[in-house]
Structure 1
Amino acid sequence: MPRLWDISPPVQEGAPVFPGDTPYRQQWAAQIAPGCPVNVSTLTLSPHVGAHADAPLHYDPQGVPVGALDLEPYLGRCRVIHAIGRGPLVTWDDLAHAVQDLPARVLVRTYERAPVDRWDPQLAAYAPQTLERLADLGVRLVGIDTASIDPAESKTLDSHQVIRRRGLRVLENLVLDAVPEGDYELIALPLKLMAADASPVRAVLRSLP
C-alpha cells in the first residue's frame, strides 16, 4: 500500500501567522442542544494560515485569484530536497546535490523541526537566483517549510517577483520534518476561492510505486 505523509501544520487558535495578518478564530453559530441537532462553526482566518498556496493576486495587482488557477501544478510527482539549517537564503549550492532529472515540483526542507506553534522571524527563504535556475530546469511549483519564499522583513519580495515573472506556483508553511529526501506524489489542492489571494491546502505526499 502507498504510504502517506501529512505535510500540513495544524490549523487552530494560536497557529502562527505573519505579523499583522488575521489569526485563526472559531466561534459556534449553533451547538447541539434541545431543539438544535447540529454543531455549526464560524471561522475567521487569513488564507495564509497553515499550509497554503499563494495566488498571483497576492504579489501582483493584476494577478489571477487562487480559485482561477490551473490545479495541475499542485498534483503530481515532486522532489523533497533537504537544506536543513541553511539560510537566510537557500542557494543553488544547497540544492545542487539533488537536482538531477528534477520533476516539475520541488519542496525544500530547511527546519530540523518546523515551528508550528510560533512565528519565526528568522525564517529561511529562497534566493531569487535559485528560483530562476529551478524554472530553467522546468520546475513549475516550489514549496518550502517556512512561512514565505522571501525573508520575513522583505519589502520588495524579490523571490515572489521571480515566480510571478516565470509563472511558477508556490506552497508555503509545509511540515517536512518526517519526510526523507527523495521523490513522491504531491497532492495539495487549493480551494476554489474566486476572489482570494491564497488558499489553505491539505498537503500530503504519497510514496511512488
Structure 2
Amino acid sequence: MTKLWDISPPVNARSPVFPGDTEYRQVWGATIGPDCPVNVSAITLSPHTGAHADAPLHYEAGAATIGEVSLEPFLGPCRVIHAIGAGPLVTMDHLAHALPPAAAPLPARVLVRTYAKAPIDAFDNDCAAFAPATVGALADLGVTLVGIDTASVDPASSKTLDSHQVLRRRGLRVLENLVLDDVPEGDYELIALPLKLTSADASPVRAVLRALA
C-alpha cells in the first residue's frame, strides 16, 4: 500500500480555536441500550476547527462559499517545504532552497512547515504567517493552493488580512492548521477535500499526503 501521512490535527473539545470563535462541543442524543441500537451525537464547531479550507466568503462579502469552490486545487501533486522557525512572516527567502530553477515546474500546491512541533492543543498567538508578497510570488510560479501548519496565513493579530486578500485577488485556495511534523520535505499527492457546505465560509478537511509512485 502507498504510504500515507495524516496531516490533520485531532478534533475534539481540546482543539484550539481563534479567541472568540466557536469551540468544539459534542452531546449525545442517543446511546446504545436496551431500547436503542445506536449511538448518535450532535456536534457544534467552527468550520475553521482543525485542518480546514477557507472559502472566499471568509474574507470577501458575497463571495463563493466553500461548497461552491472547485475541488481541483485540493487534490493533486504538492510540495512540502520546511521553514521551521521562520517568522513572524514567511518570505520567499525561507522557501528558496526548495524552489526549482526558473525553467523547472513547481507543483500547483505548496505546503509550508514552520513548527518543529505543531501545538495541537493550545492556540499560538505568535504563530508564523505568510508575507503577502510570498503568496503573490507563489501565484506567479503557478501555485493554486497554499497551506501552512499555523492557524492562519495572516498573523493572529491582523485586522487587514493582507495575505488573505492576495489569495482573493489571485484566486488561490488555502489550507490552515495542518500538522507537518513528520513529513520530510519533498513532493507528494495532496488529498484534502472540503465538505460541500453550501453556505459556509470554511470547511474542516481530513488532509492527507500520499507518496508519489
TM-score interval for Structure 1 and Structure 2 normalised by the shorter chain? over 0.9
RMSD over aligned Cα, in angstroms?
0.5
Cα deviation, residue 35, structure 1: 0.9
Counterparts of 2:2 and 2:14, CA distance in 1 = 33
Cα deviation, residue 197, structure 1: 0.1
Q: Could you give the per-residue CA deviations for residues 46-99 of structure 1, whole angstroms, max 9, x where no partner exists?
A: 000000000000000021000011000000000000000000000010001111
TM-score using structure 1 length: 0.99
- Which of 142, 160, 174 aligns to 2:164? It is 160
Match of 2:87 in 1: 87
Percent identity at matched positions? Answer: 74
Are 1:178 and 2:174 an aligned pair?
Answer: no
* Matched ranges for 1:46-195 at <5 A: 46-100=46-100, 101-195=105-199
3-state DSSP class of the match of 1:164?
helix
Counterparts of 1:18 and 1:88, CA distance in 2 = 17
- Which amino acid is 1:166 matched to? R
Q: What is the number of equivalent residue pairs in this alignment? A: 209
Cα deviation, residue 157, structure 1: 0.1
- Which amino acid is 1:45 matched to? L
- Which amino acid is 2:149 matched to? D
Structure 2: gaps (5+ residues): none
TM-score using structure 2 length: 0.97
Query: Which portions of structure 1, spanning 4 or more consecutive aligned residues, are displaced by more than 2 angstroms?
Result: none
Counterparts of 2:145 and 2:62, CA distance in 1 = 20
Counterparts of 1:75 and 1:57, CA distance in 2 = 21
Cα deviation, residue 33, structure 1: 1.1
Structure 1: gaps (5+ residues): none
Counterparts of 2:120 and 2:82, CA distance in 1 = 18
3-state DSSP class of the match of 1:129?
helix
